[in-house]
Amino acid sequence: MSSPSVLFDAPGPRARRLSLILSVVAAVVILAGAGWLVVILATPRESGGVTLPGMFDASRWEALGLSRFWQIVGAGVAATLSAAAVAAVGALALGVVISLLRSSSIAAVRIPTAWVVEFLRGMPVLLMMLFILLIASTGAFWAVVIALVLYNGTLIGEALRAGLVALPRGQREAALSLGMRDFQSKRLVEFPQAFRQMLPIIVAQLVVLLKDTSLGYIVGYHELIRTTMNQLSSALGNRYLFTLFVVALVIYLAINLTLSWFARWLARRTAGGARPRRRGAATTSPDQAILEMTTAPEPHERNER
Amino acid sequence: MDQYLGLWPTFGQGFVMTLLLLVSSGVLALVLGTLIAAMRISPVASLRVFAATWVEIARNTPLTLVFFFCAFVLPFLGLRWAFLPLAVVALTYYTSPFVAEALRSGINGVPVGQAEAARSVGLGFGQTVALVVLPQAFRMTIPPLINVFIALTKNTSVAGGFFVIELFAATRGLANENGNMVIPILLTTAALYLVITVPLGLFAGRLENRLAVRR
């Protein structure tokens, strides 16, 4: 269903009034909840006989005026982004390789790849980071990057494979009948189309990758959370904990929301482009597409039509 | 060998804790996610906006940051809970938007004609949703929901970084104490996670083939 409006009548005056009243009531309840939170946060608290200022008191926020503060936060952002960038490049490359190996016509290549993919996909990224850290002793940066490359690379590989499988069979047949070899057809005809088709999913996966760099906090990589929460809060004192949390949250949301919107924009552009969707249910968001993609239909199912 | 077998009680405890986290936050996330999805399709505009905002923000916050909030900021603000319930809160919050989106995509996957037909035979909003749309949406929703729970299984490992001794934290402790057998320890843990995630994945695939509504 494209819009929920089918579910109920075009509201008449009474229903419209009711809906408006409910809407206002719900808005008031939500705002009251938010207001209650703000009041709780703003109330000064007693601790060991000392009254501490509320969370919105100026004394809890004055460090934001220091340029040194923003330098350190900037270093954290740079560390997060550099790990994400290196891992993204690696994951894309690995994804391409995996999708080609998994759709290979040689069973001895295809089946072991499937096992490796299954293994990497079922394991927590955090465990992979620990694995690499302890066994290869690479240092935190490379542990984070390699684990993210392996994990997201397999997922991107699966997305690309689903894209290859979803192509109309005629594409490959046409390429082969022009005299292209198997690999040429993949490289020159099928792959570029699959990549374009799956681009929104890939970008959404890159958002996941960026979010997951924060796991570096646990294995000791000095990314955004570790620099703000540990380094700055021990330097500035505990009273900035809430402030630092807000700063980290805002930075993450700004980066991730921008990327998510970009992914959605891409999805809309690709969906409106060359080929109409063959399945009735248009995927609404790239994240959802990721969920669906992990149980992507097998070839026989797609080729039914 | 004896040394390795001696580690198993710790693995067992960690595994049980992981399962506990998985089940409790899974059930809570299902409830919360259903509520959010219901708000998302409701006729009341302000609830729709609230649900959309919730999904957008919760989905774009790193899980580590959510855990940080629950494990450090909440106690700092005066909430004195044990770390286990706080971890459940974090996982529930983080998983709820994914559940909501899976449900919503299931509802969106039901062709408009179904709802139109239900409406035209005179069913109201509640009846249309409860009797016609949801039963069909539900079957399309199960495979993506299982995928959400697979992701949740893997995400419980983050709790290990925040004072909950589940499988990941247990592994880290064991690996530090038994430097001579790091590789067997890590492989065991990987196998224990795969024991949960792989059957779930196979189950989802099987269900999808069985339940797919052929139209």
**Residue of chain B nearest A22, judged by CA positions:** B44
> E strands along A29-158, which residues?
45-47, 50-52
> E strands along chain B, which residues?
none
Taking an 8 Å cut-off on Cβ atoms, the answer to whether A285 and B205 are in contact is no
Count contacts between A and B (CB, < 8 Å): 198
What number is the average pLDDT over the span B29-33? 94
Q: For the segment B144-203, what is each residue's pLDDT rounded down to a tens digit?
A: 889 899 999 999 999 998 989 999 999 999 998 888 888 899 999 999 999 999 999 888
Tell whether the model's pLDDT for residue A5 goes beyond 90: no
> Does residue A143 contact residue A205 with C-beta atoms inside 8 Å?
no
The more confidently predicted of residues A57 and A249 is A249
| Residue (of A185, A242, A254) closest to B57 by Cα position | A254
Domain ranges of chain A: 77-273+281-298
Write down the pLDDT at residue A53.
Answer: 77
Write down the pLDDT at residue A9.
Answer: 62
Q: How many angstroms separate the CA of residue B2 from the nearest CA in chain A? A: 22
Q: For the segment A253-296, what is each residue's pLDDT rounded down to a tens digit?
A: 999 999 888 888 888 887 654 444 444 444 444 444 444 444 44
Give me the CATH topology for the region A77-273+281-298.
Answer: MetI-like fold (1.10.3720)
> Does residue A262 contact residue A203 with C-beta atoms inside 8 Å?
yes
Report the residue of B41, B46, B176 to disrupt the A interface, i.e. the one with the largest count of A CBs within 10 Å.
B46
Tell whether the model's pLDDT for residue B13 goes beyond 70: yes
| H or E element at residue B160 | none
pTM for this predicted structure? 0.83
Confidence tier at A214 by pLDDT (50, 70, 90): very high
Taking an 8 Å cut-off on Cβ atoms, the answer to whether B65 and A30 are in contact is no
ipTM computed for the complex: 0.85
The domain defined by B2-211 carries CATH number 1.10.3720.10? yes
Lowest-confidence range among A153-162, A218-227, A291-300? A291-300
Write down the pLDDT at residue A266.
Answer: 83
Distance between CA atoms of B87 and A46, rounded to whole angstroms?
27
Domain ranges of chain B: 2-211
Write down the pLDDT at residue A83.
Answer: 94
B205 touching chain A per CB within 8 A: yes
Q: How many angstroms separate the CA of residue A34 from the nearest CA in chain B? A: 11
**Amino acid letter at B37?**
A
Angle (CA) B97 B101 B104, round 5°: 135
Mean pLDDT across chain A: 81
| Residue (of B105, B103, B75, B104) closest to B89 by Cα position | B75
Write down the pLDDT at residue A6.
Answer: 67
Chain B partners within 8 Å of A125 (Cβ): 154
Taking an 8 Å cut-off on Cβ atoms, the answer to whether A127 and B109 are in contact is no
**Residue of chain B nearest A259, judged by CA positions:** B60
A218 touching chain B per CB within 8 A: yes
A131 touching chain B per CB within 8 A: yes
Q: For the segment B76-123, what is each residue's pLDDT rounded down to a tens digit?
A: 887 888 999 999 999 999 999 999 988 888 888 888 888 888 888 988
Lowest-confidence range among A67-76, B115-124, B132-141? B132-141
| Residue (of B210, B198, B43) closest to B140 by Cα position | B210
